[in-house]
Amino acid sequence: MSGDDDRSDAAERAGDAGDPTPDGGSTHPAESPLAERARPADADAPTTGLSGPRPEERPHPTGRRDEHGVRKEPDQGPEPARRATVSALVEDEPGVLARAAGLFRRRQFNIESLTVGPTTVEGHSRITLVVEETEAGIDQAKKQLAKLTPVIAVGELSGDAVAAELVLLKVRGQEPDKVHAITSMYDGQTLDAGPRTITVQITGDENQIDDAIDAFDQFGIIEMARTGQTALERGDSPTTPGEEPGHSAADTDDDEFTNYDD
Amino acid sequence: MSEPATPGKASADADDEATDADATGRTDTEDETAERRREAATRAPGTGAGAVVAALEAAGVETAFGVQGGAIMPVYDALSASTVDHVTMAHEQGAVHAADAYGIVRGDPGVCLATSGPGATNLVTGIADASMDSDAMLALTGQVPSDMVGSDAFQETDTVGVTAPITKHNFFASDSDDVGRTVGEAFALAGTGRPGPTLVDLPKDVSFGQTDRPVGEPTPPKRSVPTPAADEEQVEAAADAIQRAERPLCLFGGGVIKGDATEEARAFAREFGIPVVTTMPGIGSFPEDDDLCLSWAGMHGTGYANMAITHTDCLIAVGTRFDDRLTGGVDTFAPEAEVVHVDIDPAEISKNVHADYPVIGDAATVIDQLDAAIGYGDAPDPEAWREQCAEWREEYPMDYAIDTDEPVRPEFVVEAFDAATDDDAYVTTGVGQHQMWAAQYWTFREPRTFVSSHGLGTMGYGLPAAIGARIAADDDRQVVSFEGDGSFLMTIQELSVAVREHLDITVVVLNNEYIGMVRQWQDAFFEGNHMASDYDWMPEFDTLAEAFGAKGFRIDDYDDVEDAVEAALAYDGPSVVDAHVDPEANVYPMVASGAANGLFALSEDQL
């Protein structure tokens, strides 16, 4: 079957505008498709694959991008990771913590700790996350978190934010005086003391907690529970953008609060 | 449904009143439609299930797709007295894909329903598909009664937990008084800002529970409504970059279509004479027969589109997420380009490719802003660049010769159907080689006419999508579904629905008795070891179609093509063309995974 006289009714009915491009860019010939395509085997068009300059015959720019799609000189090394503390104000609804945690797992963000607790506003909670990521990773983590429907606002805490963590340590009780001395040194509290074990509570920033754990190690730490970091911005700076300190049900005195809405 | 005609359509002898702007075939005037929606929003629904249905009516939902089941029965009972047409599908996966395609064609969220447990889990693939492609969709799932949740009851699955990563947001309904508002909120949220699927899980006691609280207007959460206009500084910076460029290139993604920005996007490219490439989901955002259009870029995009991407010095990307199938290796993607990235979702900015000029906002609004910021005569006409692009188009034609003694080439079948159908016909596809040939060799001119599974790559999408598209589309628009043999077999049961509803769709199976894309990769990268990809066990699809009550046709060689195309398109009802094509045919151009776009292979020896 062949021939230009072979124009189908269907093609006629379609009333094609024909080839609008002078260079054969259209795949919509005015002829019936068969008439258009049926050519002797020595025609230009190949019967397997397509024609055109081979990859090595084409011009190629020398520019490159890094793994984040940033254009750069090829000799630049990979971007270093840094730690960031991210605070998210969220609607206090069932599953919100699972959504945040699931997001970080799914997108493989490297998460050091995650804490959650109520705020002064009825129905709002604060999630505090510590992530260790490249600049682009931190940026993406914040944006993806902000995209979750129950998330009200997301902010990254500055370097001088106040941060604290709590650890409970259960140590062997053979040397109560020494344990007590170290507890005092770290401004801790003794929560439980018995003939065989002593349990203390230490709060502080991450480094203080790490130091305290090292110090108690000499007695033999039997069990440990650590909360992970929670944090707030210093002074008048809101912890998450646009955050207005609100009122818990018990608060009635407006003057205690600064309104950050500028 | 009492009438055999397409659901959601009025019978042909109805009064010819002034109809809705979307010309859906309904004969209600706009005022009547608005009145119906108002009534649904303000009436006392009676039960939770009544509230769910009232919320759908208040949202203007005309059609829902689903499968009945124990936990969703109260909702179905309420649906029976509703203005919402329900299309029973053969499998929940059929329902979710049909709803997805319906939403794509209509531009409003599609709605699907399923029962708890296996019903809900059968929706998962389609919800994930909608999530990857940012398709607006609402899924309603039955759930076991509240007091049994967590007890591993019969047909209980943690649907909210299972679908959390693949929904924009999902809701567990816990109160009959609130459930209607929740459904309205979920529907509105699905279509707000960056679209996506939402889900409401409906415990049976909540559906049965009494309530007289009206559902109100569907309202998205306030925080989820983005500002359409971009920051002026961002716009100015991007406009400056575009004016500086010598080789600017527009990259239009699916977001241009979802944002109804095709008119603005076309005007922008034409005004400044900037060549256009699209992504695969962006197909139809710009007419492919336009001189400025270089078709679509990426793994199987045209050579000329990939050359343009490789050499542009300013990529104006609108509504794209720089998927790996588009970019190839990020290190070599558009290596010369400053990237202007317009998107409604700030999280897409610099996610995969760093945006030198992020512009966050609604596509149509932002394009108008950019247009105004550049101003007349301020941008140099990139004539030499256009000529270069035209040269590439000649150097790398999507051109092939056929030998009529050989097996039929699949590309030829696509072109034959394209030639025989209207310019505004809808094309749906499964996933694989046939999808690529449809995208490459069909000339798309209009948005929403290419309905396909892009990001997730769901085999089996094509037939249920054709059903959804057919029901969503005007009666005078044609619907053609290209399928592979492997894809078609995955959801072939939905043919029974097309027959029952007497839907005029034409299914074209590009049957090469392989899952061909896998076979192509095995030939290129696995020494031709065809492990589990040889599909010589396929049924006779034309005969099988007849068994369903559809019309079957078969193509074995070139002599059969014309008659089969004509007869299948002329048949008023579902027809299946089993086109036995060249089993050795491969999809080219091809950019190997992670390679540079500019190194696309034109044949296997170049991979």
Q: Are residues B306 and B197 in the same domain?
A: no
Asked if residue B178 and residue B273 are part of one domain, the reply reads no
Which segments of B335-466 are extended strands (E)? 338-343, 357-360, 426-429, 450-451
Phi, psi of B189 (to 5 degrees): -65, -40
- The verdict on a CB contact (< 8 Å) between B419 and A136 is no
Of B164, B406, B415, the CB nearest to A33: B415
Our measurement of the distance from residue B292's CA atom to the centroid of its chain's CA atoms, rounded to an integer in Å, reads 24
Nearest to B588 among A29, A49, A136 (CB): A49
SS3 for B564? helix
- How far apart CA B351 and CA A251 sit, in angstroms, is 42
Contact list in B for residue A152 (CB cut-off 8 A) is: 223
What digits encode the pLDDT tens for the residues A144-174?
A: 999 999 999 999 999 999 999 999 999 999 9
Average pLDDT, chain A: 82
Residue where the block lists tokens 């649906």 = B79
- Average pLDDT, integer, range A113-140: 95
- Are B414 and B559 contained in the same domain? yes
Paired with A171 in beta bridges are A198, A221
CB contact under 8 A, A63 and B397: no
Q: Which of B224, B248, B270 is the last residue of a domain?
A: B224
Distance, CA of B105 to CA of A233 (rounded, Å): 48
Is-same-fold flag (A82-156; A162-231)?
yes
Q: Domain limits of chain A?
A: 82-156, 162-231
pLDDT (mean) for A176-185: 97
Query: Of B57, B89, B187, B204, which is the active-site residue?
Result: B204
pLDDT value at residue A16: 40
Q: What is the model's pLDDT at position A32?
A: 60
Domain residues for B128? 28-224
Check if the beta carbon of residue B107 is closer than 8 Å to that of residue B260. yes
For A236, counting Cβ atoms within 10 Å of its Cβ (0-12 exposed, 13-18 middle, 19+ buried), the class is: exposed
In a domain, B6, yes or no: no
Residue contact B603–A48, C-beta within 8 A: yes
B258 and B275 assigned to the same domain: yes
Residue-wise pLDDT for A66-99, tens only, equals 888 998 865 667 789 999 999 999 999 989 999 9
Token pair of A120 as six digits? 């002064």
Structural domain count, chain B: 3
Rounded Cα distance, A118 and B145, in Å: 30
Cα angle B116, B122, B127 (rounded to 5 degrees) comes to 100
pLDDT at A74: 59
Residues in A closer than 8 angstroms to B402, CB to CB, are 34, 37-39, 47
> Which CATH number does the domain housing residue B445 bear?
3.40.50.970
Let me know whether B441 and B583 are in one domain. yes
How far is the CA of B86 from the CAs of A177, B187, B501, in angstroms? 77, 17, 11
Q: What is the CATH number of domain A82-156?
A: 3.30.70.260
Q: What is the pLDDT of residue B282?
A: 98
Q: Do B401 and A61 touch (CB under 8 A)?
A: no
| Nearest CB partner across the interface for A26, out of B169, B443, B602 | B443
* pLDDT per 10-residue tile (average), chain B, 607 residues: 38 40 60 96 98 98 98 98 97 98 98 98 98 98 98 98 98 98 98 98 98 98 95 97 97 98 98 97 98 98 98 98 97 97 98 97 98 84 97 96 93 98 98 98 98 98 98 98 98 98 98 98 97 98 98 97 98 98 97 97 95
User: In this complex, do A10 and B221 lie within 8 Å of one another by their Cβ atoms?
Assistant: no
Looking at the fold, whether B211 and B238 belong to one and the same domain comes out as: no
Active site residue B9: no
Is residue A57 within 8 Å of B600, Cβ to Cβ?
no
DSSP B381: P
User: Is the previous residue joined to B589 through a cis bond, with omega within 30 degrees of 0?
Assistant: yes
A49 vs B330: CB contact, 8 Å cut-off? no
- Residue B414 domain-assigned (yes or no): yes
Spatial distance between the Cα atoms of A54 and B436, rounded to a whole number of angstroms: 21
What CATH number is given for A162-231 in this structure?
A: 3.30.70.1150
Q: Is residue B596 part of a domain?
A: no
Same domain assignment for residues B485 and B554:
yes
> Which of A40, A71, A149 is opposite residue B224, by nearest beta carbon?
A149
Question: In this structure, which amino acid lies at residue B551?
Answer: K
Quick one: B201 and B219 in the same domain? yes
Is the pTM above the cut of 0.95? no
Give the side-chain half-sphere CA count within 13 A for B604: 15
Contacts of B401 in chain A (CB under 8 A): 37-41, 43-47
- Give A154's strand partners: A88
DSSP state of B220: -
Beta strand A111-118 pairing with A124-133: antiparallel
The SS3 call for residue B2 is coil
Do residue B521 and residue B579 come from a single domain?
yes
The distance of Cα B31 from the centroid of its chain, to the nearest Å, equals 31
Q: Are B162 and B119 in contact (CB under 8 A)?
A: no
Least confident of A43-57, A210-224, B508-522, B546-560: A43-57
**Residue A14 pLDDT > 60, yes or no?**
no
A1 touches chain B (CB under 8 A): yes
User: Where is average pLDDT lowest: A1-10, A38-47, B148-157, B166-175?
Assistant: A1-10
| Virtual torsion, Cα B82, B88, B89, B90, nearest 10 deg | 150
pLDDT of residue A75: 63
pLDDT of residue A47: 72
Residues B199 and B50 grouped into a single domain? yes
Among candidate residues A157, A99, A96, the one with its CA nearest the CA of residue A128: A157
Where do runs of H (alpha helix) occur along B7-117? 30-42, 48-58, 73-79, 92-106
Is B172 designated active site?
Answer: no
Tokens of B471: 């029901």
Q: Which residues of A203-212 are buried (b: 16+ CB within 10 A; e: fewer)?
A: bbebebbeeb
Looking at beta carbons, which residues of chain A come within 8 Å of B390?
23
Residues B419 and B510 in one domain: yes
The C-alpha atoms of residue B413 and residue B400 are separated, in whole angstroms, by: 13
Exactly one of B280, B436, B517, B590 is catalytic; which is it?
B517
Q: Which amino acid is at B142?
A: G
Q: What is the pLDDT of residue A243?
A: 79
Shared-domain flag, residues B212 and B263: no
* B604 contact residues in A (CB cutoff 8 A): 49
